[in-house]
Structure 1
């Protein structure tokens, strides 16, 4: 029961504000560690007592030697009973208690929860980044940095606390104990302390710098490997295994070289510290023996000083590695911060309200957007889509059709003008409520690597089994559902679809996506090449379902295959980010403009529409 209480001292999923982590490394550390300051305060106290106990054991050793030499035979235990009991208490009870408390705090309280608390908060923040954030980096590298940052921050903080007291307590206590025996015993230790600090000051920043470089090289290597795995189909289709091997090998060779450079510095540091430690042991032991020979110190002082410097020798190597481990972890935290502590580009206003749709009118009012380039893409677009109206967006590639839809979804913020839904500026409503009211079927359908059921319930989380099956039937996806079996033996709705849905054909993925939007039943519907992955027979079969899906909704459809949107209420033709034509299919054909030319190219002048 006590252990479970202690293990719950850090809640990884505590409800905290979803704010941007600081961009300064020390403020980044403070941002997370202040949430667990009570646990780290306890670790500091336990560490202090534990370090004092360790030094006390060496003091006991010297004291025992002197007591044994000074006490007559047969009366040792009787004369020193109380002092011996105190020594036994420290060694047998207090020391195990402090070590146990330290281990519980580190291994039961901090290690399991702190890293995941940091990962959880960073994941929540990154998950709400803009679309461009994820388009500018590898998904695998983003995930790796979130995972590694939590681990590195936790380890470096714990290591710093552990090292702090051992350095301070051993240095101060040793000087005090040596000075108590004879001030000359402190000379080698003082020289060693100065040399050790100088070695730390010289080597640590260089080891840190090379560790950061090696970490960057490892991130590039990871990015290249993940990129190859993610696009494995393209790699195989173009028979480029050899090219991909070379691409990864170059990054691996660079990473190996950077690690070797860091290793050289570590080796030089190790030799330097070992040399300093040798001088400390020889100097202290030599002076102690000389002082004893002169009758100036006791035999116990030799045991104390020799034991302590050997312990300091062992500890110094550990401290040096810990310090370098700390800075290596700090370097990895800094590397992770480059991805994590980035301001979001699309933000909800502090006073943002949920979107309230009563009719479904969509208005683009002098909208301009250029991806920060200053011109092009979308230029001063004015468009009103009336409630329940179904319009088709038409135009050549790069005309701005998909960008206009992305702006409506607020995946990007408009640079000029406004987009309004039922008179509400979408910049002033919450992003979650906006996207909850818009259903969309895209050209490149991507499914989550989960079951068919889980993917469908993204549209409506509380869907019943009957609703799931009805949506599949309407999307004409029920005919292949019973045939699906994954590698774990799951069937039908329970079958896993693979990463991005790779275990399904393009047409199957598209029909699952349509069923998902049927379940969502949002008042505004966007179809971006919704039937492009379907063959003519399947497209014809689900056309009736699409008609039912569009009934009573405001619909914006994009299609390069013009025959799929020719029957829309109105067609809007975009070219160069501007609206150049608008009207019905028949009206635009009669005008003989861009739409008529596009239609003639696709039909060859022979196919018409009723």
Structure 2
């Protein structure tokens, strides 16, 4: 699989993919081996439980021959206690092996989920674009749960059932080897059908896992987009799509279950043929006096008990196919390696407040060019704003700076250090990001600000809360800092969520600040409060701001105008208005002025020419504006 292949593309290649032996080796090496002592204990209990089956079959001979036929009173006592002892040992061994297997299965599943999550979080953006959340949830939760449910049964089959089968066949052979061969006469007939059934079950199990992933993705999209669903009256549409997938899943699951049940069903047919043969040949020998009733009952019990573990071992093939279909996907996800990694010999990050320089940076996604030779400078300790139409490449600059994506060509330097020469951890420790969509978790407000940090004093936290204006709305919350913010911060308003994001950034105290449309979704009152907090946050930091609302960046030290992945103009707000380019047109559209904003140009020129002179009154500025518009016509 390529690093960014879609799940569907990879799954189509799975029928000839990882073999069962490789999967078992992987599970043992990475997850089970560390629990070898508990596994050994479980197998000891399973061996003891399995052996009791053979002991019970052996007790049938004295029970019938000595007690029921001969009427030996002494034999009645010791046979009774022996049977009681067998069932007692079997009960203790059963409890012990189930407890041990549960311990192994739960620890294995937890380790697998944690390792998968750790690996998924290291993947780059391309991986997550080709692996939607529903598929990842299906892998981490459902597929691992499937394996978790199967492992105890597989281990029981390898331990208790296999030992039981060997012991019971041994008892049967000790009575009469000819009867045993007759009882097993149908076994060779199971091989070919069982192979076909196993292939069928594995294919259907894969299909069921894919459908489950698509259902999870559908639910994820519906629940996260419930507002658009309601506003556009898409309830019936989404419900019908979910029902259609559910019907496909039902059909596939039923076929999988039927296939899995076919193997023990074949064992039952074989058992019936075997019992018929034994009754026919064995019954004649008993009638003729060649065998005793006790011998026959011992043999009959051994073979009867043997077919039950044989059925379970037969069912293991179907169980393994179901588990293997999930394991293949889990292992594929487990083995995926991120393409964006730290260098082998990293260099230390820059000290102080560094500047930023992008030189001839090119980036394309397939045939789509996003950045085409971008040259950009952000001076240390100053604010640089990026403006331009949607698709100009502004957000891509942030992704490149933080190495969420690497350019195909060009240099990215932070201070005097190449961004790709630092470890990913050191690089990202240089940045604090406040975006339009503040990522809040369903935890308390305190936890959403601290994010697991334990080195923050109460005084430091209080200072951050005040600077970010979080303390302004704390009295309105029932439990203050310990109030739950709800899923995705749904208990807070947009402005409050943004202030929490700013508090996080203040607490990180990094030298570089990235602001991505941080106030674009707020009302005027909230924007004013958040903007004030952002200005405090930006002091003493190298700040890069993405904004469509030009009023938020007019005071930036430098405004960089981007178009089609390149810098087409830059300067201060007044300089850009005076030049009348893209920035002036964007400004005109946003503030509903005419043409290239003649009065803005006139006012900008006047501002430059009147530096150090007394300020004009409002009527004077209005008159100048009207004159400028008059002359422009």
Q: Same fold (TM over 0.5)?
A: yes
C-alpha separation in 1, matches of 2:564 and 2:461: 41
Whether the aligned pair in 1 keeps the contact of 2:383 and 2:557 (CA below 8 Å) is yes
C-alpha separation in 1, matches of 2:124 and 2:257: 39
Q: Corresponding residue for 1:588?
A: 576
Structure 1, gaps ≥5 residues long: 1-21, 486-490
Change (3 A) 1:575 1:28: farther
- Cα-Cα RMSD: 2.9
Whether the aligned pair in 1 keeps the contact of 2:50 and 2:167 (CA below 8 Å) is no
Which is further off, 506-515 or 238-247? 506-515
Change (3 A) 1:27 1:381: farther
Q: Corresponding residue for 2:32?
A: 33
Give the SS at the match of 1:482: helix
Q: Corresponding residue for 2:113?
A: 119
Choose the corresponding residue for 1:258, options 252, 275, 283. Answer: 252
Change (3 A) 1:540 1:215: closer
Q: Corresponding residue for 1:500?
A: 488
Give the Å deviation of 1:232: 1.0
Give the SS at the match of 2:185: helix
Give the Å deviation of 1:527: 1.0
Choose the corresponding residue for 2:559, options 571, 584, 595. Answer: 571
Whether the aligned pair in 1 keeps the contact of 2:495 and 2:527 (CA below 8 Å) is no
Change (3 A) 1:199 1:298: farther
C-alpha separation in 1, matches of 2:582 and 2:91: 85
Give the SS at the match of 2:300: helix
C-alpha separation in 1, matches of 2:575 and 2:342: 41
C-alpha separation in 2, matches of 1:538 and 1:275: 75
Whether the aligned pair in 2 keeps the contact of 1:288 and 1:301 (CA below 8 Å) is no
Q: Corresponding residue for 2:99?
A: 104
Change (3 A) 1:165 1:292: farther
- Show the 5 A alignment for 1:162-181: 162-166=156-160, 168-181=162-175
Whether the aligned pair in 1 keeps the contact of 2:363 and 2:408 (CA below 8 Å) is yes
Choose the corresponding residue for 2:502, options 496, 511, 514. Answer: 514
Structure 2, gaps ≥5 residues long: 1-17, 608-633
Which is further off, 302-311 or 253-262? 253-262
Give the Å deviation of 1:104: 3.1
Q: Corresponding residue for 1:448?
A: 441
Change (3 A) 1:511 1:300: same
Change (3 A) 1:556 1:37: same
Q: Corresponding residue for 1:358?
A: 352
Greater CA radius of gyration, 1 or 2? 2
Q: Corresponding residue for 2:301?
A: 307
Q: Corresponding residue for 2:13?
A: none
Q: Corresponding residue for 2:45?
A: 46
Give the Å deviation of 1:181: 2.6
C-alpha separation in 1, matches of 2:438 and 2:446: 16
Give the Å deviation of 1:71: 6.3
Choose the corresponding residue for 1:537, options 500, 503, 525. Answer: 525
Give the Å deviation of 1:313: 3.2
- Show the 5 A alignment for 1:110-149: 110-149=104-143
Give the Å deviation of 1:523: 0.8
TM-score w.r.t. length of structure 2: 0.83
2:274 aligned with 1:286: no
Change (3 A) 1:379 1:455: same
C-alpha separation in 1, matches of 2:126 and 2:505: 24
Give the SS at the match of 2:540: coil
Whether the aligned pair in 2 keeps the contact of 1:285 and 1:305 (CA below 8 Å) is no
Give the Å deviation of 1:582: 2.3
Whether the aligned pair in 1 keeps the contact of 2:519 and 2:530 (CA below 8 Å) is no
Q: Corresponding residue for 1:62?
A: 61
